[in-house]
Amino acid sequence: MTLSTESTRFLEDLKVYLLASGKNELATKEIVNELEDHLIEAEADGKSVRAITGDSPADYIQSISKEMAFDPKEAFWVVLQVFLGASSFLYLQNLLNGTTTFTILLVGGFLLISAVYLTTLAFLFRQDALRDGARPRIMRYGIHGSIHFLLIIGLLIVNGLVDSPKITLSPSVSWMIGALLIIWILVTAWKTKTWILPIALLVYFVPQIILRSVFDWSELTSGLVGYAVAAITMTVAFIRESKQDQSNVSKH
């Protein structure tokens, strides 16, 4: 039986909220599946999602979250995935540009920006899951991601203006780290069955390589083109994956 749009959205919001709150993924799936069965039975009897959640689905989601323990391992794994995913663009970009020297300011600033990004992203996920009605998610996430990108650009500009202690890696070590980073991304994508990040890296760097090697474009111009292509690709992939998740949840 196919669930109603309201019930499907509720299950999706519940899953997002719990995962963004650092709950165990397996336990989250079990709760979502159990509630899915209850919702199917309720809708078969002509009832709505509020027959299960009460007058406030948001309060119901929060009550479930409070009953579940915080899973530090799960949270660490998610943070590590997002951090390495974000840092891969910066590191591989420097590698492409032939840069094997990193300043303490750049490394420390990137860690700080990433921490703020992850914290605000989790907050955004949680707040979005509690909203009722239609929600322009892509716009909010797009603005959030753009702010993060601008902060990175600002960091790079400041890094070029301020003298800071440097860490220099040999070319062989730099390429080894880059190779390990790519392998980790591919293995993670294979395990999670989510290929958005590898595809984004591909469409980000391939245009740059072509534009710089064939048309002799500058690093800045080719980088901006790569960013635009990657941003469009990730947005489209995010929309398609969200629709696929909704379709999977609504089927029993």
Q: Give the ranges where the chain is alpha helix by DSSP (H).
A: 5-20, 25-44, 50-53, 57-67, 72-96, 104-129, 137-161, 171-192, 196-213, 219-249
* Distance from C-alpha of 246 to C-alpha of 140, rounded to nearest angstrom: 19
Asked if the model's pLDDT at residue 107 lies above 60, the reply is yes
Long-range contacts, stretch 76-81, CB < 8 angstroms, 24+ apart: 78/19, 78/22, 79/118, 81/188
Query: Which of 83-92, 118-127, 243-252 has the least mean pLDDT?
Result: 243-252
* Distance from C-alpha of 101 to C-alpha of 121, rounded to nearest angstrom: 30
Contact of 49 with 10, CB cutoff 8 Å: yes
Residue 163: φ, ψ to 5°? -80, 125
* Distance from C-alpha of 83 to C-alpha of 121, rounded to nearest angstrom: 12
Q: How many CA atoms lie within 13 A of 243 on its CB side?
A: 7
- Average pLDDT score over the chain: 83
* Distance from C-alpha of 93 to C-alpha of 110, rounded to nearest angstrom: 14
Asked if the model's pLDDT at residue 132 lies above 70, the reply is no
| Two structure tokens written together for 178 | 């880059």
Asked if the model's pLDDT at residue 244 lies above 80, the reply is no
Asked if the model's pLDDT at residue 30 lies above 90, the reply is yes
Q: Which residues contact 128 (CB under 8 A, 6 or more apart)?
A: 13, 16, 135, 137, 140
DSSP-assigned beta bridge partners for residue 102:
167
Cα dihedral sign, 145-146-149-150 = negative
* Distance from C-alpha of 191 to C-alpha of 208, rounded to nearest angstrom: 28
Query: Which of 16-30, 71-85, 213-227 has the least mean pLDDT?
Result: 71-85
Q: What letter does residue 3 receive in the DSSP assignment? A: P
Provide the pLDDT for residue 205: 92
What three-state secondary structure class fits 120? Answer: helix
Provide the pLDDT for residue 134: 47
* Distance from C-alpha of 39 to C-alpha of 131, rounded to nearest angstrom: 20
Q: What letter does residue 2 receive in the DSSP assignment? A: P
Q: What letter does residue 49 receive in the DSSP assignment? A: T
